[in-house]
Amino acid sequence: MQDLLKGEIASAVMPIDSLLGQVQSGQLRALATTGPGRLKSLPDVPTVAEAGYPALQDVTWFGIFLPAKTPAAIVAQLNSAIQASLRTDEVKSGMAKLSVDVDAVAMNDFAQLLATESDRWKGIVRATGFTPTG
């Protein structure tokens, strides 16, 4: 972020919540967003698909993970509490301030998302030859 603000790098792909303030204040210019639709907080900024790159789409998602041997009753209780909290106006409005749309998904759908994303990123890592360091 600091290198971007100082002009030491020309561009970056970053989560919107980490730079929304700088975009809204005019310190940075958003060229496009990577989600499936325009952001409510930046309605004049096109998506990457609108800019001509429909295959380049990426969204940030969050998940809750538990140890594999967690009893099913506890998993169900936690899932119910989390799903209920995500439907509250307080959470929705707090997330909206960060340009985050709350879209709680069922556990089975999340498992499918996780599998799909893992496969997707494995392919990208292999194609680039990236290897982790440290």
CA 54 from chain centre, in angstroms, equals 17
Predicted pLDDT of residue 57: 84
Helix (H, G, I), strand (E, B) or coil at 1: coil
What class has domain 1-59? alpha beta
Predicted pLDDT of residue 25: 93
How much is the pTM? 0.67
Q: What is the mean pLDDT of each run of 10 residues along the chain (134 residues)?
A: 90 86 92 90 92 87 92 94 92 86 84 89 86 72
Amino acid, res. 49: A
**Residues facing 42 on adjacent strands:** 39
Instruction: Indicate the domain borders of the chain.
Output: 1-59, 61-134
Amino acid, res. 110: F
| Backbone φ, ψ for residue 96 (5° rounding) | -60, -35
Predicted pLDDT of residue 62: 85
